[in-house]
């Protein structure tokens, strides 16, 4: 099994109430790969510029991720994003987005990247996601993430690529914005009529909800008292969720598999937000991740539920 991911590989400038970073490794594909690398061989697809060095590539290669499909564009600049968080980290403002080398990127995947079992189309222009989807025609499970910017400026292409994937992961607000429906469940159900069989609504500090035609499953975020920088939490969640699915896609995606995938995504995202950028997830051990998954199940399992007719 192997996982191919296309999405932004970036330098981020971030300001949170707990500190400022002028330039750190980030990007949707980067955060996804760091989390998914616990489960399977990951291949990252995307361009970087002259400003991207061996040190950054080494981080991308954590736990054996392949950077063979990371294209160095001579004379180009790496994607750059700058954001600022409000005092409770619940709101985020984008201050700058510079596509750089992504502006003229035309993905040409290696044979190994095209032969992936699982494909994650992380946040980037929907046109690029469509291109990579077409090159990975035999993938058994394809998931996609996006954001408000692309809903605003590339809606048609975004809807087109959504119709060609198995799973859509979006924030609550983005699901509502995309469908024009104020209600989350009906927004998710509308998406389920357009192609995907799984919708995951990411809800920040409140966790995430999974909606299929016959399931609804919500998991709260791992309860942390200290959150430093939420940048990349959604992509890290997706890396854990999709990574776990990649391990099980061969034997079918039962409700238990999907629920455990939610738990791994949640546990990994909790490490991501405890520090700036990629530092925490790059360094965390598989044992520490498993411990948080076990704790999550302890917190949330209702072992002796009694159903009574009340009134």
Should residue 196 be labelled a site residue for ligand AMP when binding is judged by CB under 6 A? no
* One residue of 4, 5, 12, 65 binding ligand AMP per CB under 6 A: 12
Exactly one of 45, 151, 233, 281 binds ligand AMP (CB under 6 A); which one? 233
How far apart CA 307 and CA 104 sit, in angstroms, is 59
Which residue stretch of 4-12, 176-184, 192-200, 218-226 sits at the interface with ligand AMP (rule: CB under 6 A)? Answer: 4-12
Beta pairing class for 198-202 and 208-211: antiparallel
Q: How far is the CB of 8 from ligand AMP (least distance, A)?
A: 3
Question: Does residue number 234 form part of the binding site for ligand AMP (CB under 6 A)?
Answer: yes
Q: How far is CA 101 from the centre of its chain?
A: 21
- Which part of the chain contacts ligand AMP (CB under 6 A), choosing from 21-29, 217-225, 242-250, 284-292? 21-29
Segment contacting ligand AMP by CB under 6 A, of 24-32, 51-59, 128-136, 218-226: 24-32
Site track 39-68 with ligand AMP (rule: CB under 6 A), x = hit: ------------------------------
Among 81, 85, 120, 241, binds ligand AMP (CB under 6 A): 81
List of residues 6+ apart from 244 with CB closer than 8 A: 39, 257, 260, 261, 264, 265
Selected from 16, 231, 270, 280, the binder of ligand AMP by CB under 6 A is 231
**Binding status of residue 107 toward ligand AMP by CB under 6 A:** no
> Can you spell out the DSSP letters for 115-146?
T-SEEEE-SS-HHHHHHHHHHTTT-SEEEEE-
Q: How many CB atoms lie within 10 A of CB 206?
A: 14
d(CA 186, CA 179): 9
- The sign of the CA dihedral 148, 6, 197, 200 is negative
Q: CA 252, CA 245: separation in Å to the nearest integer?
A: 9
Q: Residue 211 and residue 111: Cα distance in Å, rounded?
A: 34
**With binding defined as CB under 6 A, does residue 123 bind ligand AMP?**
yes
Q: Binder to ligand AMP among 97, 98, 135, 177 (CB under 6 A)?
A: 97
Q: Applying CB under 6 A, which residues contact ligand AMP?
A: 8, 10, 12, 26-28, 81, 97, 123-124, 147, 149, 231-235
């Amino acid at each position: 099994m192997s996982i191919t991911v296309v999405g932004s590989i970036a330098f981020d400038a971030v300001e949170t109430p707990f500190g400022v970073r002028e330039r750190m490794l980030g990007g949707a594909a980067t955060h996804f790969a760091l989390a998914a690398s616990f489960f399977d061989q990951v291949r990252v697809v995307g361009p970087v510029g002259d400003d991207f060095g061996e040190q950054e590539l080494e981080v991308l290669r954590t736990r054996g991720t392949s950077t063979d499909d990371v294209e160095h564009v001579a004379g180009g600049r790496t994607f750059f994003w700058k954001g600022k968080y409000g005092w409770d980290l619940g709101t985020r403002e984008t201050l700058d987005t510079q596509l750089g080398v992504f502006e003229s990127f035309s993905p040409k995947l290696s044979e190994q990247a095209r032969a992936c079992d699982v494909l994650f189309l992380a946040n980037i222009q929907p046109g690029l996601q469509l291109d990579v989807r077409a090159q990975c025609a035999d993938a058994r499970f394809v998931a996609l993430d996006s954001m408000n910017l692309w809903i605003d400026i590339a809606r048609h292409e975004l809807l087109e690529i959504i119709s060609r994937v198995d799973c859509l992961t979006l924030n609550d607000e983005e699901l509502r914005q995309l469908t024009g429906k104020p209600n989350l469940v009906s927004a998710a159900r509308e998406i389920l009529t357009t192609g995907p069989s799984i919708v995951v609504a990411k809800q920040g500090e409140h966790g995430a909800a999974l909606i299929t035609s016959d399931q609804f499953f919500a998991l709260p975020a791992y309860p942390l008292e200290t959150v430093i920088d939420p940048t990349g939490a959604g992509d890290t969640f997706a890396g854990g969720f999709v990574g776990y699915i990649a391990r099980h896609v061969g034997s079918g995606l039962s409700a238990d598999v999907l629920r455990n995938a939610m738990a791994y995504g949640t546990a990994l995202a909790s490490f991501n937000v405890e520090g700036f950028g990629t530092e925490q997830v790059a360094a965390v051990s598989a044992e520490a991740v498993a411990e948080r998954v076990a704790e999550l199940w302890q917190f949330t399992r209702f072992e002796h539920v009694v159903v009574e007719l009340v009134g």
